[in-house]
């Protein structure tokens, strides 16, 4: 009896492992094919611009709001901590390094996943359900090239831009906290920022933004595009399930990738 | 592989398709002469749509061969399949219009993505297709803002804008009332003559199909039990054909009785 239970457990473990490996392979092929589809795609630049508008301009308010509050909180918390050691003059360094190296890329990516990623996944899922994807294929148009490639290419531009904006607004927030609310000299804050941030930090920031953009948008597109393959649901429920899965997995991937990149670069 | 039947634009030989244990097509054949309207009829759930999707290469057949313009599609590489798709259009039962694009953008999409025409030329050809289908005044509307009949015409405009040689219609009258059903078949016949494409229609509207088609075929249990002209279909004494005809006659009699208030339809009818 115990032997059978053990066998079942091993079998279940094996089947789950195989499913994960298969999923990873399928996702990698999907991403590679999406980039490959750029080669034969007509009027791609126009669609990249449109996708850039959807991902960039529409996400602007949330990036600005979260960015400013992140900076304000960092400035406030940082000031009180540094004040204990008489090092308030290092507030600019604390805020800037936190934002540039970690919080900027991670929080901007999470905001973009919540706004643009979820919308992309749901839209592709609905397009799959209403045979719009099949319609493209019958026209002899690559559905990946038309629907996914522009979004991926746009993400490679939009994520670094939004991250830069997030960091800039965050630094302004930190300055507002430190200078206007807590009485720190504005010059002290900004000179501390200038001294602290090195080119390597900026490179790390953009490298993270690029990686997060590529991983999250392709994950969201993958789940939306394959909504019809959802095992436990069909129709609207499949779209809902695939969108949820896309957002959850993208958020986890952002944090995991952040750890991996940081551990290699530090 | 090349087939020597120049009169046939499309020829299907022994197509099989199964989904798991469910055998949907078990050796279906079909001959489609150039410039004709061929209708595939059959009861609901007999695999008519699957058959049409196999023709359009949306679903790949497990066995059998499909010849287009004398060449076997199954033997061809991806490039040739792409060429076939660009010479053929498919009208989905659901219309499959892009809901985030305007009517004009929907019609222009295949030209934008499959040709190197200039923008002005694409716009002109798209507007021309819309004009021919009396949709030009709705060019800036979204599909959701159009009526069911207009959406059907818009889907047809998108299908013909590339000037295809073959148009495949999947249940073009599904969900429409008898008057609109008749109008859709009339529209297909009219535009087929106007543009000269070859049409394959899948439907279960027998009367309209017989009136609008040059040839009809009857799909039953995964095979084509009959292929011939509408006159031959009406005269056929094949058991499957007569049984199908009898069912349609009985259904029409029931519908007429319901309309006249003689029968109250039950929940499961």
Q: Which residues of B touch A136 (CB under 8 A)?
A: 113
Predicted local distance difference test score (pLDDT) of residue B77: 67
> What length does chain B have?
269
Q: Which residues of B touch A42 (CB under 8 A)?
A: 112-114, 116
Searching chain A, which residue's CA lies closest to the CA of residue B168?
Answer: A138
Q: Which residues of A touch B86 (CB under 8 A)?
A: 139-140
> Are the Cβ atoms of B58 and A130 closer than 8 angstroms?
no
> Are the Cβ atoms of B113 and A131 closer than 8 angstroms?
no
| Distance to chain B for A46, nearest Cα, Å | 11
Burial class (CB in 10 A: 0-12, 13-18, 19+), B218: buried
- The answer to whether the CB of A105 falls within 8 A of the CB of A258 is yes
Predicted local distance difference test score (pLDDT) of residue B99: 93
Q: How far apart (Å, rounded) are the C-alpha atoms in residues A108 and A170? A: 11
Searching chain B, which residue's CA lies closest to the CA of residue A137?
Answer: B58
Q: What is the helix (H) or strand (E) element at residue B171, kind and residue range?
A: none
Backbone region of residue A76 per phi and psi (left: phi > 0; alpha: psi in -120 to 50; beta: other values): alpha
Mean pLDDT value of segment B60-65:
90
Predicted local distance difference test score (pLDDT) of residue B126: 95
> Are the Cβ atoms of A140 and B58 closer than 8 angstroms?
no
Q: Which of A230, A233, A227 is nearest to A118 (CA)?
A: A227
CATH of the domain at B98: 3.40.50.300
> Are the Cβ atoms of B85 and A140 closer than 8 angstroms?
yes
Q: List pLDDT tens digits, range B83-140.
A: 888 899 999 989 999 999 999 999 999 999 999 999 999 999 999 999 988 898 999 9
Tell me which residue in A123, A131, A146 faces B113 most closely, judged by beta carbons.
A146
Let me know if residue B268 belongs to a domain.
no
Predicted local distance difference test score (pLDDT) of residue B268: 44
Q: Which of B127, B149, B151, B150 is nearest to B139 (CA)?
A: B127
> Are the Cβ atoms of B114 and A140 closer than 8 angstroms?
yes
- Alpha-carbon distances of B88 from A75, B20, B55, B58, B82, rounded to whole Å: 63, 29, 10, 12, 10
When pLDDT is cut at 50, 70 and 90, the band that residue B263 belongs to is low
Domain spans in chain A, listed from the N-terminal domain onward? 37-265
Burial class (CB in 10 A: 0-12, 13-18, 19+), A152: buried
Tell me which residue in B86, B90, B96 faces A132 most closely, judged by beta carbons.
B96
Tokens linked to A179: 């200078």
- Three-state secondary structure call for residue B130: helix
> Are the Cβ atoms of B92 and A135 closer than 8 angstroms?
yes
Let me know if residue B2 belongs to a domain.
no
When pLDDT is cut at 50, 70 and 90, the band that residue B261 belongs to is low
> Are the Cβ atoms of A135 and B116 closer than 8 angstroms?
no
Q: How far apart (Å, rounded) are the C-alpha atoms in residues B262 and B241? A: 29
Q: Is the pLDDT of residue B251 over 80?
A: no
Q: Which residues of B touch A138 (CB under 8 A)?
A: 56-58, 85, 88-90
**Tokens 């604390």 label which residue?**
A94
Q: Is the pLDDT of residue B214 over 80?
A: yes
pLDDT tens digit at each of 266 positions of chain A: 678 888 899 999 999 999 999 999 999 999 999 999 998 888 999 999 999 999 999 899 999 999 999 999 999 999 999 989 988 899 999 999 999 999 999 999 999 999 999 999 999 999 999 999 999 999 989 999 999 999 999 999 999 999 999 999 999 999 999 988 888 899 999 999 999 999 999 999 999 999 999 999 999 999 999 999 887 888 899 999 999 999 999 999 999 999 999 998 87
Tell me which residue in A42, A130, A132 faces B113 most closely, judged by beta carbons.
A42
Residues 179-238 of B with CB under 8 A from A: none
- SS3 per residue for A57-101: HCCHHHHHHHHHHHHHHHHHHHHHHHHHCCCHHHHHHHHHHHHHH
> Are the Cβ atoms of B88 and A42 closer than 8 angstroms?
no
B60 at the A interface (CB within 8 A)?
no
Residue B160 lies in domain? 8-256
Start-to-end CA span in chain A (Å): 51
Phi/psi of residue B31, nearest 5 degrees: -110, 130
Searching chain A, which residue's CA lies closest to the CA of residue B162?
Answer: A139
Q: Is the pLDDT of residue B161 over 80?
A: yes
Let me know if residue B263 belongs to a domain.
no
Q: How far apart (Å, rounded) are the C-alpha atoms in residues B238 and B26? A: 19
> Are the Cβ atoms of A141 and B114 closer than 8 angstroms?
yes
Phi/psi of residue B26, nearest 5 degrees: -125, 60
Total structural domains in chain B?
1
Q: How far apart (Å, rounded) are the C-alpha atoms in residues B218 and B226? A: 5
A to B CB pairs, distance under 8 Å? 55
Q: Which of A218, A234, A233 is nearest to A120 (CA)?
A: A218
| Distance to chain A for B224, nearest Cα, Å | 24
Q: Which residues of B touch A123 (CB under 8 A)?
A: 100
- Alpha-carbon distances of B126 from A61, B85, B108, B112, B164, rounded to whole Å: 37, 19, 5, 10, 14
B89 at the A interface (CB within 8 A)?
yes
Which site among A122, A133, A135, A143 would you substitute to test the B interface, given the most B Cβ atoms closer than 10 Å to its Cβ? A135
- Please say whether the dihedral angle defined by the alpha carbons of residues A162, A164, A167 and A169, taken in this order, is positive or negative: negative
Q: Which residues of B touch A132 (CB under 8 A)?
A: 96-99
> Are the Cβ atoms of B114 and A132 closer than 8 angstroms?
no
Q: Which of A266, A261, A264, A223 is nearest to A106 (CA)?
A: A261
Q: Please, which residues have CB within 8 angstroms of residue A26's CB and are 6 or more apart in sequence?
A: A222
Tell me which residue in A41, A138, A146 faces B58 most closely, judged by beta carbons.
A138
| Distance to chain B for A152, nearest Cα, Å | 18
Searching chain B, which residue's CA lies closest to the CA of residue A127?
Answer: B98
Searching chain A, which residue's CA lies closest to the CA of residue B53?
Answer: A138
> Are the Cβ atoms of A135 and B96 closer than 8 angstroms?
yes
Let me know if residue B261 belongs to a domain.
no
Searching chain B, which residue's CA lies closest to the CA of residue A143?
Answer: B113
ipTM of predicted complex:
0.82
């Amino acid at each position: 009896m115990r032997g059978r239970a053990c066998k079942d457990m091993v079998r279940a473990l094996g089947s789950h492992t195989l499913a994960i490996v298969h999923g990873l392979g399928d996702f990698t092929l999907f991403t590679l094919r999406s980039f490959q589809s750029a080669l034969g795609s007509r009027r791609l630049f126009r669609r990249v611009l449109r996708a850039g508008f959807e991902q960039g301009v529409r996400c602007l308010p949330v990036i600005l709001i979260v960015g400013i509050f992140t900076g304000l909180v960092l400035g406030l918390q940082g000031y009180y901590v540094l004040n204990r050691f008489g090092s308030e003059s290092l507030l600019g360094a604390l805020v800037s390094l936190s934002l540039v190296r970690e919080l900027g890329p991670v929080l901007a990516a999470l905001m973009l996943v919540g706004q643009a990623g979820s919308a992309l996944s749901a839209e592709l899922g609905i397009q799959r359900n209403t045979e719009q994807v099949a319609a493209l294929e019958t026209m002899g148009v690559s559905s990946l090239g038309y629907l996914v490639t522009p979004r991926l290419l746009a993400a490679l531009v939009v994520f670094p831009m939004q991250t830069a904006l997030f960091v800039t607004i965050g630094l302004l927030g930190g300055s507002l906290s430190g200078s206007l609310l807590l009485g720190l000299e504005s010059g002290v804050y900004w000179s501390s920022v200038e001294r602290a941030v090195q080119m390597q930090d900026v490179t790390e920031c953009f490298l993270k933004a690029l990686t997060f953009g590529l991983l999250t948008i392709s994950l969201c597109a993958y789940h939306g595009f394959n909504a019809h393959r959802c095992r436990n649901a069909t129709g609207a429920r499949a779209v809902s399930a695939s969108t949820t899965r896309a957002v959850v997995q993208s958020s986890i991937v952002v944090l995991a990738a952040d750890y991996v990149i940081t551990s290699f670069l530090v | 592989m090349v087939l020597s039947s120049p009169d046939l634009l499309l020829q299907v030989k022994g197509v099989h398709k199964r989904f798991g244990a469910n055998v949907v097509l078990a050796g279906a054949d079909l001959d489609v002469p150039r410039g004709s309207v061929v209708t595939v009829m059959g009861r609901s759930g007999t695999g008519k749509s699957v058959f049409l999707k196999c023709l359009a290469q949306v679903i790949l057949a497990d066995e059998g061969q499909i010849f287009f313009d004398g060449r076997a599609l199954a033997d061809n590489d991806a490039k040739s399949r792409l060429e076939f798709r660009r010479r053929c259009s498919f009208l989905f039962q659901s219309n499959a219009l892009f809901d985030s694009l305007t009517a004009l953008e929907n019609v222009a999409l295949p030209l934008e993505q499959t040709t190197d025409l200039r923008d002005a030329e694409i716009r002109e050809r798209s507007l021309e297709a819309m004009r021919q289908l009396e949709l030009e005044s709705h060019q800036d509307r979204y599909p959701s803002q159009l009526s069911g009949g207009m959406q059907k015409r818009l889907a047809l405009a998108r299908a013909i804008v590339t000037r295809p040689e073959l148009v495949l219609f999947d249940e073009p009258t599904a969900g429409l009332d008898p008057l609109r059903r008749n109008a859709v078949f009339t529209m297909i016949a009219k535009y087929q003559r106007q543009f000269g494409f070859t049409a394959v229609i899948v439907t279960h509207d027998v009367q309209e199909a017989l009136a609008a088609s040059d040839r009809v075929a009857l799909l039953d249990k995964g095979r084509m039990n009959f292929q011939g002209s509408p006159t031959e279909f009406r005269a056929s004494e094949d058991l499957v054909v007569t049984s199908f005809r009898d069912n349609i006659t009985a259904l029409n009699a029931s519908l007429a009785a319901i309309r006249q208030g003689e029968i109250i339809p039950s929940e499961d009818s």
